[in-house]
């Protein structure tokens, strides 16, 4: 499987997220778009809210929890409680190469679960040509507050053929 090219990129949407609860709510809305076999790559600085977003995705997928940061175990599997897909939550922060990602054997569960990889940019794109890339940006230190900007970008045929890979925030 190859990684997507710029021409494979679908629409992007930038969403303002004010609080941790809003981030979880957004995760739930993203979960409604996801299905077994989907790869989600999360990018953002420390403290941006990546794990908080995955908590919302886990709630939306109705998986066994709690969803916590897998930084020290690298990957956690959350089986489904209902009829939907499970969640594989990976923290690639401590992984230094694609070979280390391969050692996790993520593609073994990729078809049956939604796989969400924090810090996966540049490491996991080879797992699936189709993926949803989510970038979380924090305000500059000079701007007080919790506001985050979340950008969703669909890559590949799966997201190009989706009705709309963007998520309307908590209207």
Write out pLDDT tens, residues 114-123.
999 998 888 7
Crossing angle between the packed helical segments 50-61 and 20-31, to the nearest 10 degrees? 50
Q: What is the mean pLDDT of residues 10-17?
A: 72
Q: Report the distance separating Cα 129 and Cα 10, nearest Å.
A: 13
Model confidence at 56, pLDDT cuts 50, 70, 90, reads very high
Which architecture does CATH list for 6-160?
A: 3-Layer(aba) Sandwich (3.40)
Q: What is the mean pLDDT of residues 147-165?
A: 79
Exposure pattern of 107-146 as b/e (b: 16+ CB <10 Å)? bebbeebbbbbbbbeebbbebbbbbbbbbbebeeeeeeee
- 78-120 tens-digit pLDDT: 999 988 999 999 888 777 666 666 666 566 666 789 999 998 8
pTM value is 0.83
| pLDDT of residue 40 exceeding 50 | yes
- Look at residue 160 in the predicted model and tell me its pLDDT: 76
User: Would you say 19 and 47 are in contact if contact means Cβ atoms under 8 Å apart?
Assistant: no
């Amino acid at each position: 499987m190859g990684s997507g090219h710029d021409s494979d990129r679908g629409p992007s949407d930038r969403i303002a997220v004010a609080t941790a609860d809003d981030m979880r709510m957004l995760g739930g809305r993203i979960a409604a778009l996801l299905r077994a076999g989907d790869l989600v790559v999360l990018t953002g600085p420390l403290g941006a809210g990546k794990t908080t977003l995955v908590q919302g995705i886990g709630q939306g997928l109705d998986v066994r929890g709690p969803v916590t940061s897998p930084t020290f175990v690298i990957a956690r599997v959350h089986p489904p409680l209902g009829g939907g897909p499970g969640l594989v939550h990976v923290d690639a922060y401590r992984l230094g190469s694609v070979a280390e990602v391969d050692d996790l054997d993520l593609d073994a569960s990729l078809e049956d679960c939604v796989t969400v990889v924090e810090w996966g940019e540049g490491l996991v794109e080879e797992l699936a040509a189709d993926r949803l890339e989510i970038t979380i940006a924090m305000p500059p230190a000079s701007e007080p507050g919790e506001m985050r900007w979340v950008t969703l970008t669909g890559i590949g045929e799966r997201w190009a053929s989706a009705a709309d890979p963007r998520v309307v925030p908590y209207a």
